[in-house]
Amino acid sequence: MRLNRVTANIFRKYLSPFGITDSQLTILFILSKKSGLNQKQLSDLTVLEKSTLNRNLNRLIGSELVSKADFPLIKITIKGKTLVNAILPEWKKAMNEIERMLESDGKNALDTLIKKLLK
Protein backbone atom coordinates (compact mmCIF):
# COMPACT_ATOMS: atom_id res chain seq x y z
CA MET A 1 0.00 0.00 0.00
CA ARG A 2 2.85 2.34 0.79
CA LEU A 3 4.44 1.76 -2.62
CA ASN A 4 1.08 2.43 -4.24
CA ARG A 5 0.73 5.75 -2.38
CA VAL A 6 4.23 6.88 -3.32
CA THR A 7 3.83 6.11 -7.01
CA ALA A 8 0.26 7.47 -7.09
CA ASN A 9 1.52 10.78 -5.70
CA ILE A 10 4.13 11.00 -8.45
CA PHE A 11 1.52 10.31 -11.12
CA ARG A 12 -0.89 12.83 -9.53
CA LYS A 13 1.79 15.50 -9.79
CA TYR A 14 2.00 15.02 -13.56
CA LEU A 15 -1.65 14.16 -14.28
CA SER A 16 -3.43 16.76 -12.14
CA PRO A 17 -3.57 19.39 -14.93
CA PHE A 18 -5.63 16.92 -16.99
CA GLY A 19 -8.26 16.31 -14.31
CA ILE A 20 -7.97 12.53 -14.58
CA THR A 21 -7.07 9.83 -12.09
CA ASP A 22 -4.52 7.09 -12.61
CA SER A 23 -7.31 4.47 -12.74
CA GLN A 24 -9.17 6.45 -15.39
CA LEU A 25 -5.97 6.83 -17.37
CA THR A 26 -5.39 3.08 -17.18
CA ILE A 27 -8.84 2.52 -18.66
CA LEU A 28 -8.15 5.02 -21.44
CA PHE A 29 -4.75 3.47 -22.19
CA ILE A 30 -6.28 0.00 -22.50
CA LEU A 31 -9.18 1.22 -24.64
CA SER A 32 -6.81 3.15 -26.89
CA LYS A 33 -5.08 -0.15 -27.68
CA LYS A 34 -8.08 -2.52 -27.53
CA SER A 35 -11.22 -0.51 -28.11
CA GLY A 36 -14.44 -2.46 -28.09
CA LEU A 37 -14.17 -4.42 -24.85
CA ASN A 38 -17.02 -5.41 -22.61
CA GLN A 39 -16.98 -4.49 -18.92
CA LYS A 40 -15.78 -7.94 -17.78
CA GLN A 41 -12.83 -7.88 -20.18
CA LEU A 42 -11.96 -4.35 -19.12
CA SER A 43 -12.21 -5.31 -15.45
CA ASP A 44 -9.84 -8.24 -15.99
CA LEU A 45 -7.30 -6.09 -17.83
CA THR A 46 -7.38 -3.16 -15.40
CA VAL A 47 -7.46 -5.35 -12.28
CA LEU A 48 -10.09 -3.01 -10.86
CA GLU A 49 -13.07 -4.14 -8.82
CA LYS A 50 -16.38 -4.02 -10.63
CA SER A 51 -17.69 -1.07 -8.58
CA THR A 52 -14.46 0.92 -9.02
CA LEU A 53 -14.44 0.27 -12.76
CA ASN A 54 -18.10 1.23 -13.03
CA ARG A 55 -17.59 4.49 -11.13
CA ASN A 56 -14.61 5.43 -13.33
CA LEU A 57 -16.42 4.45 -16.53
CA ASN A 58 -19.37 6.66 -15.58
CA ARG A 59 -17.03 9.62 -15.09
CA LEU A 60 -15.26 8.91 -18.41
CA ILE A 61 -18.61 8.60 -20.20
CA GLY A 62 -19.79 11.85 -18.58
CA SER A 63 -16.65 13.55 -19.88
CA GLU A 64 -17.26 12.05 -23.34
CA LEU A 65 -13.90 10.25 -23.27
CA VAL A 66 -15.51 6.81 -23.47
CA SER A 67 -18.72 5.60 -25.09
CA LYS A 68 -21.16 2.76 -24.51
CA ALA A 69 -23.09 3.57 -27.69
CA ASP A 70 -22.39 0.02 -28.94
CA PHE A 71 -23.33 -1.61 -25.63
CA PRO A 72 -22.11 -3.99 -24.29
CA LEU A 73 -18.89 -2.82 -25.95
CA ILE A 74 -17.01 0.08 -24.42
CA LYS A 75 -14.99 2.25 -26.78
CA ILE A 76 -12.69 5.22 -26.44
CA THR A 77 -13.91 8.34 -28.24
CA ILE A 78 -11.90 10.68 -30.44
CA LYS A 79 -11.86 13.11 -27.50
CA GLY A 80 -10.47 10.30 -25.33
CA LYS A 81 -7.74 9.46 -27.86
CA THR A 82 -6.80 13.14 -28.07
CA LEU A 83 -6.49 13.30 -24.29
CA VAL A 84 -4.34 10.14 -24.18
CA ASN A 85 -1.99 11.67 -26.76
CA ALA A 86 -1.77 14.88 -24.72
CA ILE A 87 -1.10 12.99 -21.47
CA LEU A 88 1.55 10.60 -22.81
CA PRO A 89 4.53 13.01 -22.47
CA GLU A 90 3.60 13.74 -18.83
CA TRP A 91 3.00 10.05 -18.11
CA LYS A 92 6.48 9.32 -19.48
CA LYS A 93 7.95 11.98 -17.17
CA ALA A 94 6.27 10.30 -14.19
CA MET A 95 7.58 6.89 -15.27
CA ASN A 96 11.10 8.29 -15.71
CA GLU A 97 10.99 9.80 -12.21
CA ILE A 98 9.91 6.48 -10.72
CA GLU A 99 12.57 4.56 -12.67
CA ARG A 100 15.28 6.97 -11.46
CA MET A 101 14.15 6.41 -7.87
CA LEU A 102 14.08 2.62 -8.21
CA GLU A 103 17.36 2.27 -10.11
CA SER A 104 18.02 -1.07 -11.84
CA ASP A 105 18.05 -3.20 -8.68
CA GLY A 106 14.70 -1.78 -7.58
CA LYS A 107 13.18 -2.36 -11.02
CA ASN A 108 14.41 -5.97 -10.98
CA ALA A 109 12.98 -6.53 -7.50
CA LEU A 110 9.66 -5.02 -8.57
CA ASP A 111 9.54 -7.23 -11.67
CA THR A 112 10.12 -10.29 -9.47
CA LEU A 113 7.33 -9.25 -7.08
CA ILE A 114 4.88 -8.66 -9.93
CA LYS A 115 5.62 -12.08 -11.46
CA LYS A 116 5.10 -13.79 -8.10
CA LEU A 117 1.89 -11.93 -7.34
CA LEU A 118 0.36 -12.51 -10.76
CA LYS A 119 0.90 -16.30 -10.80
Q: Where are the domains of the chain?
A: 2-117
Give the model's pLDDT for residue 22: 84
For 2-117, CATH gives: 1.10.10.10
- Percent over 70 (pLDDT), the chain: 100
Give the model's pLDDT for residue 83: 98
**Average pLDDT along the chain:** 93
Distance CA 87, CA 91 (A): 6
- Summarize the confidence of residues 51-75 as an average pLDDT: 95
Q: What letters, b where the CB count within 10 A reaches 16 and e where it falls short, cover 6-34? A: ebeebbeebbeeeebbebbbbbbbbbeee
The neighbour count for residue 49, using CB atoms within 10 Å, is 10
Give the model's pLDDT for residue 35: 77
Entry field: residues in the chain: 119
Does the pLDDT at position 14 exceed 80? Answer: yes
Residue 3: which pLDDT band, with cuts at 50, 70 and 90? confident
